[in-house]
Amino acid sequence: ETGVTQTPRHLVMGMTNKKSLKCEQHLGHNAMYWYKQSAKKPLELMFVYSLEERVENNSVPSRFSPECPNSSHLFLHLHTLQPEDSALYLCASSPGFSGANVLTFGAGSRLTVL
Amino acid sequence: KNQVEQSPQSLIILEGKNCTLQCNYTVSPFSNLRWYKQDTGRGPVSLTIMTFSENTKSNGRYTATLDADTKQSSLHITASQLSDSASYICVVRNAGGTSYGKLTFGQGTILTVHP
């Protein structure tokens, strides 16, 4: 384990379902991120949170709704998704935003939208 | 537009052999470049970071090089092992932009090591 835990690891949902992905970090980091990883494509940044405040929303459709109740937890609420949203969703954290800060990733949540 | 291109897309080698992965980038202004290793079913893990003034850095059997003039980096793996089978991702940080920094990810090179 890297110190960043994601649940569930696998999720299958219909287009009309509502589900949530959860991320928890035990590293005392101040920044948390959601990335989308699709096959043969670079990681796409979705959201960035700094000390519970959203600092980036990278033109993500509103069917994805993030929530950061505290600096250790991050959620991604999913509603009315499309099949093209099927992907691996990675949560990451970092101490802050200085150039040398490394991202620590969770193992990801594999989402399949039917 | 900031871009990171990796080659080859995929690579198959025999255990014990060496290999080199390439990363070309157009990110400017440049801050640093990281190589990540992503095992199947896991998130990426940082292998090494290269700053502007560094040409070579080693981490065990992994050696990264950086040529900031030509905007190229390579990751050389020596005496490959089965556990080296993974996706290797090159990530370049932009020195400008927002305070949280802009990261540009490559699409990764999938390495498969056969016994």
User: Would the CB atoms of A4 and B99 count as touching at under 8 Å?
Assistant: no
Walk across the sheet containing B19-25 and list its strands.
Answer: B4-7, B19-25, B72-77, B62-67, B56-59
User: Which 8-state DSSP code applies to residue A103?
Assistant: P
Closest CA to B38 of B16, B15, B21, B14: B21
Residue of A nearest to B93 (CA): A99
Which chain B residues contact residue A105 at CB under 8 A?
43-45
pLDDT tens for residues A38-49? 988 999 999 999
pLDDT for A40 equals 85
Nearest to B45 by CA among A15, A31, A2, A36: A2
Decide: helix, strand or coil at residue B14. Answer: strand
B115 prior amide bond cis, ω within 30: no
Q: CA of A5: which chain B residue's CA is closest? A: B43
CB contact under 8 A, A100 and B101: no
Q: Which of A7, A9, A40, A43 to mutate to test the interface with B (most CBs of B within 10 A)?
A: A43
SS3 A51: coil
pLDDT digits (tens, 9 = 90+) for B43-53: 999 999 999 88
Nearest C-alpha of chain B: how many angstroms from A102? 7
Query: For the segment B68-107, what is each residue's pLDDT rounded down to a tens digit?
Result: 999 999 999 999 999 999 999 999 998 876 666 689 999 9
Three-state DSSP at A84 gives: helix
Which residue from B38, B32, B31, B33 is spatially nearest to B22, judged by alpha carbons?
B33
For tokens 């594999």, what's the residue?
Answer: A110
